[in-house]
C-alpha cells in the first residue's frame, strides 16, 4: 500500500503474488554491523636467563587479539581503523595466519589508517587521495576475510603508544 494506486483493503479474497528483489552477487548482509576493538600487541625481547628450580609457575598469558564472530554462512569483508600513534602496523588474522603488513609506515596521534578488505584500499583518515597502499608489504601480505564462526584478529605494530588501537567492523554475510 505504498502508493495511491493500491488495491482497497475491502477485498475479502486472498491473492497470490510473488515478490523479488535484486541482491548483488547473491549475498545478503546483516543489517546491523558488528564492531570489535583490538589493543596493540608488541613482541617483547627475551628477558634474562637464570637458574631455576622446577616445577615453576608462570602467570597466565593473555592475548591482545580480538575475537570477531561472523554468524553468517559465508566469509565477511571488513573495514578497520588503526588509530595512532604507531609505526610499522600489521593486522593479522591469527585464525588463518594471513596478515597485512606495513613496514615503514607511521601514523601519528589523532590520525588513523583505514583498511577496506572488499575494495582493498589503504588510506589515512578514510580520505581517498591519502592512499598508503604503497607501504603494503606485497610479498608477505594477504588480504583476508572473516570466515563463518570466530576469527581471532591481532593489531601488531612495531611500536605504539596510547591511545593506539584497532577497530574492526563487518556485517554477517549469507548466501541466498
Cα distance between residue 151 and residue 106, in whole Å: 27
Closest of 89, 112, 118 to residue 102, by C-alpha:
89
Say how far apart CA 105 and CA 92 lie, in whole Å.
16
Contact 54, 130 (CB under 8 A): no
pTM of structure: 0.75
Distance CA 11, CA 17 (A): 15
Average pLDDT along the chain, 176 residues, taken 10 residues at a time: 53 68 71 85 60 59 76 95 97 96 97 97 96 96 97 95 95 87
Amino acid at each position: 500500500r505504498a502508493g495511491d494506486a493500491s488495491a482497497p483493503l475491502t477485498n475479502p479474497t486472498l491473492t497470490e503474488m510473488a515478490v523479488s528483489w535484486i541482491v548483488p552477487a547473491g549475498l545478503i548482509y546483516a543489517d546491523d554491523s558488528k564492531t570489535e576493538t583490538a589493543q596493540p600487541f608488541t613482541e617483547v625481547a627475551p628477558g634474562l636467563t637464570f637458574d631455576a628450580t622446577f616445577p615453576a609457575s608462570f602467570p597466565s598469558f593473555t592475548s591482545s587479539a580480538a575475537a570477531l564472530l561472523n554468524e553468517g554462512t559465508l566469509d565477511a569483508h571488513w573495514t578497520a581503523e588503526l588509530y595512532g600513534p604507531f609505526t610499522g602496523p600489521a593486522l593479522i588474522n591469527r585464525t588463518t595466519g594471513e596478515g597485512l603488513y606495513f613496514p615503514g609506515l607511521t601514523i601519528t596521534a589523532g590520525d588513523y589508517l583505514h583498511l577496506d578488505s572488499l575494495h582493498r584500499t589503504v588510506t589515512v583518515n578514510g580520505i581517498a587521495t591519502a592512499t598508503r597502499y604503497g607501504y603494503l608489504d606485497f610479498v608477505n601480505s594477504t588480504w583476508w576475510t572473516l570466515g563463518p564462526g570466530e576469527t581471532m584478529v591481532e593489531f601488531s605494530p612495531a611500536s605504539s603508544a596510547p591511545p593506539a588501537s584497532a577497530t574492526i567492523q563487518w556485517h554477517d554475510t549469507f548466501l541466498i
